[in-house]
Amino acid sequence: MIVRGNDLWLADLRSGGSRRDEALTDLHAEIRSGLPFGLQKWIDAGDARFNAFIEETAQETLLRVLAHLDDFQGRSQFTTWVHSIAVRVALSELRRSRWEEISLDKLLEGDDSGSAPRDFAEAGSGTEERVEQAALLELVDKIIQTELSEKQRRALLAAVGGMPSEAVAAQMQMERNALYKLVHDARLKLKKKLEEEGLSTEDILAAFEPR
């Protein structure tokens, strides 16, 4: 496998012929090697369907990466960006297949926060970075718990957790348009409180990029 930096990954994937094919093969291997770690909280590697699921996720991730190469802004390593996409693809499929069995209350009480990209960042973080990350997460959680209404909190956490809006609206007995406004207002309130603390969403994301 060729050792590539961000620019070379982008150049190879945008090229044609064997150069692009080799980059896709290497990226496929990269995705498959990282997914078991990224999904360890949600799926057992001993499951008979595990290998097939990993392969399907890897293939879907490659398609999404190729379709969104222009969205990569270089704020992290290219492979970290790809891994975060792979985990979101996998969790979306896992959640899609089990939403009918999961209530909103169970989602909010459990560990389905959709935090897998953070797991990848933590894997290479030192003690100082982890302390910073923990402090930021504690601040965000405090704002969510103290500044948002109960309905805003439930709707926002469900949205962040990836629960389909149709399922959230049904369980909260709301029209979808009302739910969209509820989540929108919750996001604005969260953003405002972060700004009052001297932070922006960019600051939060930057804290979880590889150092």
Dihedral angle, C-alpha 65, 69, 70, 72, nearest 10 °? 80
Within this chain, do residues 15 and 76 fall inside the same structural domain, yes or no?
A: yes
Domain of 125, in residue numbers: 106-211
- The dihedrals phi and psi of 45, each to the nearest 5 degrees, come to -60, -20
Burial (Cβ within 10 Å: 0-12, 13-18, ≥19) of residue 157:
buried
Question: pLDDT of 60-85, one tens digit each?
Answer: 999 989 999 988 988 889 999 999 88
Dump the DSSP string for 18-47.
HHHHHHHHHHHHHHHHHHHHHTTTTS-TTS
Q: In the chain, what percentage of residues exceed pLDDT 70?
A: 74
Residues 6 or more apart in contact with residue 106 via CB below 8 angstroms: none
Tell me, what CATH number does 40's domain have? 1.10.1740.10
Task: Please tell me the predicted confidence (pLDDT) of residue 7.
Answer: 93
Within this chain, do residues 24 and 66 fall inside the same structural domain, yes or no?
A: yes
Of 101, 127, 144, the residue that ends a domain is 101
Q: Which two tokens stand for residue 14?
A: 């945008």
Residues 6 or more apart in contact with residue 172 via CB below 8 angstroms: 104, 151, 154, 155, 179
More confident position, 122 or 95: 95
Question: pLDDT of 119-176, one tens digit each?
Answer: 333 444 445 555 666 677 777 788 888 888 888 888 887 776 667 777 788 888 888 8
Burial (Cβ within 10 Å: 0-12, 13-18, ≥19) of residue 93:
middle
pLDDT at residue 59 above 90? yes
Closest CA to 205 of 137, 146, 142: 137
Of 42, 71, 101, the residue that ends a domain is 101
Tell me the CA distances in angstroms from 72 to 6, 61, 80, 87, one per residue in order.
9, 14, 11, 16
The answer to which of 55-64, 75-84, 104-113 has the lowest mean pLDDT is 104-113
Chain CA centroid to CA 78, Å: 15
d(CA 35, CA 68): 20
Q: Which two tokens stand for residue 84?
A: 């975060």
Of 43, 75, 101, the residue that ends a domain is 101
Total domains, the chain = 2
Within this chain, do residues 73 and 10 fall inside the same structural domain, yes or no?
A: yes
What's the pTM?
0.48
